[in-house]
Amino acid sequence: MMLFNPSHIVPKRFQTWYRVLRVLLFVSFLGTGSAFAYQTLFPSQTFTFSFTNPDTAKNTLEEPLAKDGTTPLRKGRVPANETLVTYAGTFGSFSSAHVDMVLKKDSLLPANGDVRISLRKSYRSFLSPSGDPILAVSKEHGVTVSGVPYLFSAEKLYPFLSDKAALSRFKTEKMVAANGELLTIFPPQETAIGFREGSFLSDTQGVYAVGGDGKAHPIGSTQVFEALGFHWNDVIPVNEEELGFHKRGKIMMFDAAQPNGTVFHDTATGIYSMIRNGKRLAIENRDYLDSLLAVTTAIDVSSDSLSVSATCTPDRTMLSFLNPTYSCDIPLDTLKSFPGGSFEISLETNGELHMASLETIFQTNPDRSNLGIFSRQIRDRFSAAYGKQ
């Protein structure tokens, strides 16, 4: 009986305290459980950047740049009539964003309406600036000599690392068979050719994306892989030698940009584009497009996401005298339907600012619609795990 009613072993002088503490423990457990359930059903994500300490690992917003995409604004000094741009990589569906802009003591205070904050939503690389369209087919060719694959490029012959590396660039039927005389005319180079930029390699440890730097970047999780728009049918199982050919790069998380070689398909216009060196290039040569689609799957996007934004004008919050703080809330209803989980955050100012920090909190409203979304996600995951067993 003592096991179920410990009050019998508590001295009488402590029993009042025992009952109070037991109630407090129950309330604490109930409150913690409720908070956990709320965060699970209606999650939020917080992203920050400290201009006072721009090198801290706690910064979760991408390093801010000016609108030209090259001028750094990491120290928080934003000139008049300039736009600060940064990015947040999210996962999930959010209803609104709360933005806090904290100024340093020496900053000029903006007048009402002088600062405007805008959000756009898509995949990170699709938000990149556009470059010159691709009008011509690639001059590179795949050839085989006695079954050994080579890349013929700029009048030089390079051996492929393996058959799989060759097939990451060319389908089997596009590999031209040649005789041994080709090796005499064009002696093979010593440098081997690895996997195509934008390829996905896998081993027993995980999946890796080959970036424009030639490195194999580990992808953080299956959720990250899918959130970035990648397709499982594009993953190439490789051996230790093939993976080791590419040096290990930085891990890719939800805020990562899609690598060079990624192909996007605009469902609004039907246009295909490819990422190359931070630019989004429209593919206007059908033969080149067909060769790309033969070795990779395009990620569906919408060009409407580039022209539609959600905006707000921040107001100064009360009791922010030492470090003036300006805040506003942005409904995200107009952006919800766009594919991708990356948000571009733009801060446009008419007057010069000296910022201390910028914070954006993406929030999910506690309503029936979002509860339904969560329920469907649980159902879909259950079906994916057990539906085919």
**For position 16, what pLDDT does the model report?**
72
pLDDT at 35: 45
| pLDDT above 50 (res 191) | yes
**Residue 273: predicted pLDDT:** 98
314 contacts 99 by C-beta, under 8 angstroms: yes
pLDDT digits (tens, 9 = 90+) for 64-81: 999 999 999 999 999 999
Phi/psi of residue 365, nearest 5 degrees: -70, 140
Whole-number pLDDT of residue 44: 87
Query: What pLDDT band is residue 385 in, cutting at 50, 70 and 90?
Result: very low
pLDDT tens digits, one per residue of 33-67: 544 444 544 478 999 999 999 999 999 999 999 99
Burial of 103 (0-12, 13-18, 19+ CB in 10 A): buried
pLDDT of residue 381: 44
Going from the C-alpha of 190 to that of each of 156, 187, 247, the distances in angstroms are: 11, 9, 18
Beta carbons of 363 and 44 less than 8 angstroms apart: yes
Residue 67 Cα to chain centre, angstroms: 20
What ranges make up the beta strands (E) of 138-258? 141-145, 148-153, 156-159, 176-178, 200-203, 206-210, 216-218, 235-237
Task: Give this prediction's pTM.
Answer: 0.84
Cα–Cα nearest to 257, from 344, 181, 186, 377? 344
Q: Give the DSSP H or E segment for 279.
A: strand 279-282
**What does the mean pLDDT of the chain come to?**
89
Given pLDDT bands bounded at 50, 70 and 90, which one contains residue 14?
Answer: low
Residue 37: the pLDDT is 47
pLDDT, tens digit, for every residue of 135-164?
999 999 999 999 999 999 999 999 999 999
CA gap 87, 126 in Å, rounded: 12
Looking at this protein, which amino acid is placed at residue 371? L
N residues, the chain: 389
Rounded mean pLDDT, 130-137: 95
Q: Are strands 299-301 and 263-266 parallel, antiparallel or unpaired?
A: parallel
Residues 284 and 108: beta-carbon distance below 8 Å = no
More confident residue, 174 or 386: 174
pLDDT for the residue 322: 78
Give strand pairing partners of 101: 326, 358
Per-residue pLDDT at 53: 96
pLDDT of 320 strictly over 90:
no
Per-residue pLDDT, averaged over 129-136, amounts to 96
Strands 45-50, 353-363: pairing kind: antiparallel
Phi-psi map region of 143: left, alpha, beta (phi>0 left; psi -120 to 50 alpha): beta
Cα-Cα end-to-end distance for the chain: 46
pLDDT at 370 over 50: no
Question: Do 347 and 103 form a contact (C-beta atoms < 8 A)?
Answer: no
Instruction: Work out the percent of the chain whose per-residue pLDDT is above 70.
Output: 83
Average pLDDT over residues 316-332: 89
What integer is the mean pLDDT of 291-317? Answer: 97
Mean pLDDT of 166-185: 95
What pLDDT shows up at residue 1? 45
CA distance 110 to 132: 38
Question: In this predicted model, what pLDDT tens digit does every residue of 98-128 receive, in sequence order?
Answer: 999 999 999 999 999 999 999 999 999 999 9
Measure the CA–CA gap between 274 and 291, rounded to whole angstroms. 13
Q: What is the pLDDT of residue 6?
A: 62
Rg over CA atoms, the chain:
27
Alpha helix positions (H), the chain: 12-41, 163-167, 181-185, 222-227, 240-244, 286-293, 304-307, 368-386
